[in-house]
Amino acid sequence: MEIRRGIAVSPGVAIGPALVLDTEGILIPIRTVEPAQVDGEVKRLRAALAEASRLAQEKHRTLSAKLGQEIAEIFAAHAGLYEDPKLVRDAEILIRANNYSAEYGVSRAVRAIMKQLESAGISPLVTRLQSDFVDLEKQLLSLLQGEGGRPLAEITEPIIVLAHDLTPSETAVLDPKTVHAIATESGGATSHTAILAGALEIPAVVGIGRFLSDISGGDTVIVDGYQGLLILDPDEDTLKRYLDLRRRDCTASGIHQIFHKDIPAETRDGVRLHLYGNIEFPGEARHCIDRGADGVGLYRTEFLYVNKSGDPTEEEHYTAYKTVLEEMGPDRPVVIRTLDLGGDKFNVAAGLTHLEKNPFLGLRSVRLCLKNQPMFKTQLRAILRASVYGDLRIMFPMISTAMELRQCKSILREVQEDLEEAKIPFKSGIKIGTMIEVPSAAIMADVLARQVDFFSIGTNDLVQYTLAADRNNETVADLYNAADPSILRLLGHVIRSANKASIDVTICGEMSGEPMFTQLLLGLGVRQLSVTPRKIPELKRLVRQMSISDAERVADEALRLETAREVTSYLREQLRRILPDVAD
């Protein structure tokens, strides 16, 4: 048994067979065979190796003619690898000794070689050899599986998806009925993949570091999304312990969700908070209502791009927004955020055909919308048309300057005029807000507050841009920390600016659903939080144990601290005093 530690991003426990998903989506199935079939498996292996070698040599010949000898040499080297006596021998031994299928034998043999390469340290040669072996495994598996290789969407049995990384679009299409957990080598706590796993309620651990070379498809693994653990090849005791935990977990979370969903989020000294849901798909509006949300505080509309190669049409936008508004009814506000494409989200679909060197600092979000006005106007028309169905509000993401905000509002006015001319109805007086998620916007909050009806603070990006630490990169996860004093000070300034201008301010980054931060945020003056719907009942329970006067004392004290570590331990201690079961 081996226990690997990563970043817990979506709670829950799952036990099941691993499905190793490589970047091209090829699945590595497990199949042990009957002893009588072993000779046949070895024959299949040899045939696949011979065919792969022949294909590589053929590629070498055609590419030599086209691109010259030097480039084509890569394929000559590949052809050599397929004949590598060690690989062939190791795979055959594994198949014969364990009754493995040819696929599983290849996978184990390649992974053992990868592991040896890993121990040789990092060098350009090792990196190249590793990627050669990944290619080789893919090629052999696709030859062996032939028609038998199934895309993920067709898998119906429960599995645990293991991958180096998953993009938001890959994660968005995972079906929680079959995918019982996710574990990835890379990724950070607020990556969009992590957020989606939470939205889909799939237990997930990311940023584990290298483990794929130690595992093949079909091996039993445990994902512990509470503690951030991936357990490979669990022993009997561990298996039993986790089976028990999973059973208790289902009952406890069910009880919790039912008991706390309908109570108001009111502090002990009688201050009522508003708790909204963050959603990515129209179907999640129902989750918000089921969890007792006061509305939708953030609708990430860019997820309309899932499974799409082009821009959504106006009708597609409109139908999605109308669905959410009708579901939420007239009394629950719905904040529709305009497209936040780019960064790690749907770059290709958004027409970002050239690869940006630094996409998080590039043509992301509202910057892209201002450059591609037809796309922006299509969305704004649909939003305005949908406004007649409920309490819709519009929010612009990634605003960096007052100028950008003015431009967005002036384009919105143009679209309103077009609709008026065409006599297409929309609501007047729609509330307009901006995300505060870029440090420049946070610093200028007092100025921006004069231009909008509300702020929503996106701490996921605010933390990444303030601390210059990529939210997706596990190697800087220690630095990427919402408890950093710089973030507390920025939050204080933004919240004060909003309160002074008498506009609403919500926190909608992942920080808002973290119990450790609730007292701090109340104490800083926040009265509205927008979180993954699943977290709402728990937050209600928490808020009801707090008082604003205590929260203000906690915020004052936290603002005096100098490091993220001090802030974290102080806030944990304060939470433990009120709700020990949540703090631990």
Instruction: List residues near ligand PEP by CB under 6 A.
Output: 195, 298, 300, 340, 437, 458-461, 508-509
For residue 264, give Cα distances in angstroms to 270, 407, 542: 10, 39, 11
> What's the CA gap between 505 and 258, in Å, rounded?
29
**Which residues are CB-neighbours of 517 under 8 A, at least 6 positions away?**
482, 483, 511, 571
**At its nearest, how many Å lie between ligand PEP and the CB of residue 23?**
23
Residue 177 CB, shortest distance to ligand PEP, in Å, is 26
Q: Which is nearer to ligand PEP, 60 or 300 (CB)?
A: 300
Please give the structure tokens belonging to residue 139.
């090629």
| Rounded CA separation 230/11 (Å) | 13
Dihedral, 509, 510, 513, 518 alpha carbons, nearest 10: -70
Query: Parallel, antiparallel, or unpaired for β 229-232 and 220-224?
Result: antiparallel
- The H or E element spanning position 159 is strand 159-163
Question: Phi-psi category of 159—alpha, beta or left, where left has phi over 0 and alpha has psi -120 to 50?
Answer: beta
- Residues 6 or more apart whose CB falls under 8 angstroms from that of 19 comprise 27, 28, 152, 155, 159, 160, 161, 162, 217
Strand partners, 163: 21, 184
Distances (CA, A) of 373 to 370, 408, 423: 6, 10, 22
Binding-site string for Mg ion from residue 302 to residue 341, where x marks contact by CB under 5 A and - marks none: ----------------------------------------
Neighbours of 38 (CB within 10 A): 21
Q: Which is nearer to Mg ion, 219 or 461 (CB)?
A: 461
Q: How far is the CB of 191 from ligand PEP (least distance, A)?
A: 9
Give the nearest distance from C-beta 562 to ligand PEP in angstroms: 25
Q: What does 509 interact with, of Mg ion, ligand PEP, none (CB < 5 to 8 A by kind)?
A: ligand PEP
Nearer to ligand PEP, 171 or 460 (CB): 460
Q: Minimum CB separation from ligand PEP for residue 439, in Å?
A: 12
Contact string (CB under 5 A) for Mg ion, positions 421-460, x = contact: ----------------x--------------------x--
Q: Nearest residue to ligand PEP, using CB?
A: 458
Residue nearer to ligand PEP on the CB measure, 18 or 206: 206
Q: How far is the CB of 530 from ligand PEP (least distance, A)?
A: 8
Nearer to Mg ion, 213 or 464 (CB): 464
DSSP for residue 341: -
Q: How far is the CB of 491 from ligand PEP (least distance, A)?
A: 12
> Are 340 and 300 a contacting pair, CB within 8 Å?
yes
**Distance of closest approach, residue 381 Cβ to Mg ion, in angstroms:** 24
Among residues 180, 192, 260, 287, the one annotated as catalytic is 192
- Centre a 10 Å sphere on the Cβ of residue 234 and count the other Cβ atoms it contains: 18
- Looking at 34-191, list the stretches that DSSP marks H as alpha helix, in order from N- to C-terminal side: 38-67, 69-82, 85-98, 102-119, 124-145, 168-172
Active site includes 180?
A: no
Residue 300: contacted member of Mg ion, ligand PEP, none (CB under 5 to 8 Å, by partner type): ligand PEP
- The amino acid present at 31, given as its one-letter code, is R
Of 288, 369, 408, 508, catalytic = 508
Q: Which of 548, 563, 485, 486 is nearest to 518 (CA)?
A: 548
CB 279 within 8 A of CB 299: yes
Partner from Mg ion, ligand PEP, none contacting 508, C-beta within 5 to 8 A by type: ligand PEP
CA dihedral 191, 192, 198, 200 (to 10 degrees): -150
Q: Which does 467 bind (CB under 5 to 8 A by kind): Mg ion, ligand PEP, none?
A: none
Nearer to ligand PEP among residue 459 and residue 518 (C-beta): 459
In whole angstroms, give the CA distance from residue 70 to residue 353.
29
Q: Which does 538 bind (CB under 5 to 8 A by kind): Mg ion, ligand PEP, none?
A: none
Comparing CB distances to ligand PEP, the nearer of 180 and 300 is 300
Q: Which is nearer to ligand PEP, 340 or 538 (CB)?
A: 340
Residue 230: what residue type? L
Residue 393 CB, shortest distance to Mg ion, in Å, is 17
391 binds Mg ion (CB under 5 A): no
Residue 459 binding: pick among ligand PEP, Mg ion, none (C-beta 5-8 Å cut-off by kind): ligand PEP
- Contacts with Mg ion, 453-492, as mask; x by CB under 5 A: -----x--x-------------------------------
**Closest CB to Mg ion among residues 462, 516:** 462
3-class secondary structure, 427: coil
**508 flagged as catalytic:** yes
Would you say 105 and 41 are in contact if contact means Cβ atoms under 8 Å apart?
yes
User: How many binding residues for Mg ion (CB under 5 A)?
Assistant: 3
User: Is residue 510 near Mg ion by the rule CB under 5 A?
Assistant: no
The secondary structure of residue 579, as a DSSP letter, is: -
Catalytic residue IDs: 192, 508
* Residues lying near Mg ion in the complex (CB under 5 A): 437, 458, 461
